Chains A and B, each alone.
Chain A
Amino acid sequence: MTNTYITNATWAITGQHIDLCLCPAAESISTVFLDEIPLPDVKQAEAEGKMEIPEHARVIDASSKLLMPALYDLHSHIEIPGRSKRECIMRAGEAAIRGGVWGMLVLPSPAFCFDNGATLDSFREAATVRSVADMTPAGCISLGMRGLEQAPYNTLATMRGVRILSDGEDFPSNILMLYRAMQYAEDLGLIFAVRADVPALTEHTYAHPSVTAYNLGLHPCPPCAEEIGTETLIRLAEATGARLHLQLVSTAESVRIIRRAKERGVHVTAEVALHHLLFTHAQIGDYDTVFKTIPPLRDQADCEALLEGVKDGTIDCIVSAHTPCSPFSKKQDFVSAPAGMVMLDTMLPALYTKLVKPGLLSWGELIRACCLKPAEIANPREQDEGTPHAAPLLLFDPQVSNLVTEETLTCGTLNTPFLGQELHGAVTLPLR
């Protein structure tokens, strides 16, 4: 392996021009920090001087491109209905890299039920061989994700390196089980990733209470279900000392609840799905099943409060909530169709086109919410608490725009809200 030289790049956060030398890991050049972001195996040109580039070296001219850490995603489902596990892993990895995501936390699903060592081992093996992106599985909270009985946390954590527990997006049906799990797992330093919900209030509901829900005759999903669930989980975390990660926060009031909890020092982090920042229930239009999500798309005021939460750090991460659904299943009626969107393929271009370009989010905020914070929470390359996580670098060319078509999606399904739209930005990853 030889060194790769990047010249004339623009560092996304500060806008400063930099030249870099990416060295093979073996040479173990000390980590360079740029605005508190550690860049592994990188030599940076002296502040003023020019970097010396040997002849025949591999040089990437990054003029007009932005250099930034690659994204890490805390919320991906990779199972494609009706396809083999191998193919699911391969396609999700390709899609992630295309979207600028170097690694992801894979949540348990029926096909990948990470409640035992054997499943985790076989998944890790398959991911190492088949995925171009880093894949870290989240262990199950309960056996079979049934919400009744705890999974073997000690085995998962100490023998298999699991750091985050989740039952997909299901709220455990037995809250006593969760309470005891949190007490038990506190010593192991595990994080509970749970979507706040009161299942009794959201059963058979399909849309935010709104004109859309009324006109389409879809039973409304009350926001208070999520808010009560958020309060409940925060109280449980406070009472047990466990670390909590709130998945898919979708309402303005949830953001306020989390803000208050953080102010009083609760160990809680939170994520928002990109689609909850970008879309409202109005997008459902005439039963467009692409916009069926759980929790449902909410009001404009919620989108704004969520974005505000990302900017002030109340919401730690923006996640893809990547959920492949087969084209046939999405062709069904709104009630029968599965919920979810695919996002990985278009992640960074969508973030740039919809949030950074219109001035709603700065590059610094994006990098904190999509690169640094999620990697810190998932800690995929085991390191000490508090040390900033070194991520691979990517180049982003904001001048290029691409039409999202069936051919450009590598994730294996078509349930993206951007199909047929132009998104700005092209990702180069990996650089080495």
Chain B
Amino acid sequence: MKPRKDLITIESLSDEDIHTILDSAVAMKEIFTKSVKKVPALKGKSVLTLFYEPSTRTRSSFEVAAHRLSADVTTFTLATSSVVKGESVHDTIDTLMSMKMDYIIVRHKNSGIPAVIARHCNASVINAGDGAHAHPSQAFLDAFTIREKYGEIAGRRVVIVGDIRHSRVARSTSLILRRLGAQVAFMGPGSLVPPKEHTGVARLHTWDEIFTWKPDVIYLLRVQNERIDSPFFPAADYHQAFGVTEERLRRIEAQGMSIMHPGPVNRGVELCDAAMDYENCLVCNQVENGIAARMSILYHLTPGTLSHD
């Protein structure tokens, strides 16, 4: 893979890049089985996590990944920083760059912020989620999880269910899966699924259509109440209309389909309790693979090279 500075979107990667990062993730995961779960690949490098939005799993996943590559990790805490005093992103980055960071992992509620930061500094910028735009590390861990489960992604069918409109996960994960030859469909409330002419992804309307389509993986998105200013759908309807109910879980079990979810799960909304204990529920695999995928991403980026995004 050619040296690249940043990872902002899946679009910006070549097929070769995608395969390289996925293949290395396998090797990274093997490290977890060793008694010393650490390699010196990024020894002496500084990694900064800059999360303008609350996050537990993505942030800690990146931090664990960086630690396992022996990098030094600094966490920028926004609640106590000058950002709350109205500092612009550019000025924050200038301040942070004087600390000579090699990697900046950024999450922000505005689409497009990581690209702005990437253009503005020499550090490798990794997009850990920007608005409704992109979440490439999630896409890698999802692809990795499906490949691990099924051996091959090409030819698999994946339906992504829920709030497509606000979801960066839906955008990045559907894109990487389609690049790798999977068939993807969207299902969700009418107000939250953009038309096919805009997404390029077929839309299913009901669970019956999902069962007829026979997907290998049902990928539930989290209902992001914090991102929704005025209601897009009647909340009381959601589980019944779009969630995995116990009845639907029985049909999923009968057809041997897998369940995925980017977390954190709203129990009783996207998934019934029993679905979390279902043997083909891959939510915990996703978390574990997230660390491996993020190690691979960190490993393959080269700070100081030309930006590809």
Whether the pair A217, B198 counts as a contact (CB closer than 8 A) is: no
Q: Tell me the bound Cα distance from A331 to B119 in angstroms.
A: 10
Nearest residue (CB) in B for A203 is B229
Q: Tell me the bound Cα distance from A101 to B28 in angstroms.
A: 64
- Within residues 315 to 365 of chain A, which ones have a CB less than 8 A from any CB in chain B? 328, 331-336
Q: Tell me the bound Cα distance from A287 to B200 in angstroms.
A: 20
Given A210-B198, A332-B116, A217 and B90 contact (CB-CB distance below 8 Å)? no
Q: Which residues of A contact B68 (CB under 8 A)?
A: none
Q: Tell me the bound Cα distance from A112 to B88 in angstroms.
A: 26
Given A287-B115, A333-B111, A335-B110, A219 and B132 contact (CB-CB distance below 8 Å)? yes
For residue A59, CB closer than 8 A to chain B, the reply is no
* Chain A residues within 8 Å of chain B by Cβ, number: 22
- Within residues 351 to 408 of chain A, which ones have a CB less than 8 A from any CB in chain B? none
Q: Tell me the bound Cα distance from A333 to B132 in angstroms.
A: 14
For residue A209, CB closer than 8 A to chain B, the reply is yes
Whether the pair B194, A217 counts as a contact (CB closer than 8 A) is: no
Whether the pair B89, A332 counts as a contact (CB closer than 8 A) is: yes
Whether the pair A217, B116 counts as a contact (CB closer than 8 A) is: no
For residue B134, CB closer than 8 A to chain A, the reply is yes
For residue A14, CB closer than 8 A to chain B, the reply is no
Q: Tell me the bound Cα distance from A332 to B130 in angstroms.
A: 14
Q: Which residues of A contact B194 (CB under 8 A)?
A: 209, 213-214, 220
Whether the pair B112, A334 counts as a contact (CB closer than 8 A) is: yes
Q: Tell me the bound Cα distance from A179 to B130 in angstroms.
A: 42
Q: Which residues of A contact B90 (CB under 8 A)?
A: 328, 331-332
Whether the pair B112, A333 counts as a contact (CB closer than 8 A) is: yes
Nearest residue (CB) in B for A286 is B115
Interface string of A199-219 (1 = CB under 8 A from B): 000011000011101111111
Interface string of B89-128 (1 = CB under 8 A from A): 1100000000000000000101111011000000000000
Q: Tell me the bound Cα distance from A211 to B112 in angstroms.
A: 16
| Nearest-Cβ distance from residue A168 to partner chain B, whole angstroms | 24
Given A209-B194, A334-B111, A217 and B133 contact (CB-CB distance below 8 Å)? yes
Nearest residue (CB) in A for B119 is A331
Whether the pair A216, B116 counts as a contact (CB closer than 8 A) is: no
Nearest residue (CB) in A for B108 is A333
Whether the pair A336, B115 counts as a contact (CB closer than 8 A) is: no
For residue B171, CB closer than 8 A to chain A, the reply is yes
Whether the pair A214, B199 counts as a contact (CB closer than 8 A) is: yes
Q: Tell me the bound Cα distance from A402 to B308 in angstroms.
A: 32
For residue B304, CB closer than 8 A to chain A, the reply is no
Q: Tell me the bound Cα distance from A216 to B200 in angstroms.
A: 14
Which of B88, B89, B130 touches A217 (beta carbons < 8 Å)?
A: B130
Q: Which residues of B contact A332 (CB under 8 A)?
A: 88-90, 116
| Nearest-Cβ distance from residue B195 to partner chain A, whole angstroms | 8
Q: Which residues of B contact A333 (CB under 8 A)?
A: 89, 108, 110-113, 115-116
- Within residues 163 to 207 of chain B, which ones have a CB less than 8 A from any CB in chain A? 168, 171, 194, 197-200
Whether the pair A217, B171 counts as a contact (CB closer than 8 A) is: yes
Q: Tell me the bound Cα distance from A217 to B109 in angstroms.
A: 11
Given A331-B90, A331-B116, A333-B112, A216 and B198 contact (CB-CB distance below 8 Å)? no
Whether the pair A214, B198 counts as a contact (CB closer than 8 A) is: yes
Whether the pair B131, A213 counts as a contact (CB closer than 8 A) is: no
**Most B Cβ at <10 Å: residue of A209, A213, A216:** A216
Given A216-B112, A217-B130, A334-B111, A204 and B229 contact (CB-CB distance below 8 Å)? yes
Nearest residue (CB) in A for B171 is A217
- Within residues 57 to 92 of chain B, which ones have a CB less than 8 A from any CB in chain A? 88-90
Given A210-B198, A331-B116, A215 and B171 contact (CB-CB distance below 8 Å)? yes
Q: Which residues of A contact B110 (CB under 8 A)?
A: 333-336
Q: Which residues of A contact B131 (CB under 8 A)?
A: 217-218, 335
Q: Which residues of A contact B89 (CB under 8 A)?
A: 332-333, 336
Q: Tell me the bound Cα distance from A287 to B11 in angstroms.
A: 14
Nearest residue (CB) in A for B199 is A214
| Nearest-Cβ distance from residue A184 to partner chain B, whole angstroms | 34
Q: Which residues of A contact B116 (CB under 8 A)?
A: 287, 331-333
Q: Which residues of A contact B133 (CB under 8 A)?
A: 216-218
Q: Tell me the bound Cα distance from A335 to B132 in angstroms.
A: 11
Nearest residue (CB) in A for B168 is A217
Q: Tell me the bound Cα distance from A336 to B108 in angstroms.
A: 12
Nearest residue (CB) in B for A218 is B111
| Nearest-Cβ distance from residue B53 to partner chain A, whole angstroms | 13
Q: Tell me the bound Cα distance from A334 to B168 in angstroms.
A: 16
Q: Tell me the bound Cα distance from A203 to B228 in angstroms.
A: 12
Given A204-B229, A333-B89, A333-B110, A217 and B134 contact (CB-CB distance below 8 Å)? yes
Q: Tell me the bound Cα distance from A215 to B171 in angstroms.
A: 7
Q: Which residues of B contact A287 (CB under 8 A)?
A: 111-112, 115-116
Interface string of A211-245 (1 = CB under 8 A from B): 10111111110000000000000000000000000
| Nearest-Cβ distance from residue A204 to partner chain B, whole angstroms | 7
| Nearest-Cβ distance from residue A197 to partner chain B, whole angstroms | 17
Whether the pair B115, A217 counts as a contact (CB closer than 8 A) is: no
Interface string of B1-38 (1 = CB under 8 A from A): 00000000001000000000000000000000000000
**Most B Cβ at <10 Å: residue of A204, A217, A287:** A217
Given A331-B90, A332-B88, A213 and B198 contact (CB-CB distance below 8 Å)? yes
Q: Tell me the bound Cα distance from A427 to B106 in angstroms.
A: 48
| Nearest-Cβ distance from residue A221 to partner chain B, whole angstroms | 13
Q: Which residues of B contact A204 (CB under 8 A)?
A: 229
Nearest residue (CB) in A for B131 is A217
| Nearest-Cβ distance from residue B59 to partner chain A, whole angstroms | 20
The 8 listed contacts between A and B (C-beta, < 8 Å) are A204-B229, A213-B198, A214-B198, A215-B11, A215-B171, A216-B133, A217-B131, A287-B112
Question: Can you name 6 extra interface pairs (CB under 8 A) apart from A218-B132, A333-B113, A335-B111?
Answer: A209-B198, A210-B198, A218-B133, A286-B115, A332-B89, A332-B90
Which residues does A use to contact B, with CB under 8 Å? 203-204, 209-211, 213-220, 286-287, 328, 331-336
3 closest A-B pairs (Cβ-Cβ)? A217-B133, A217-B132, A335-B110
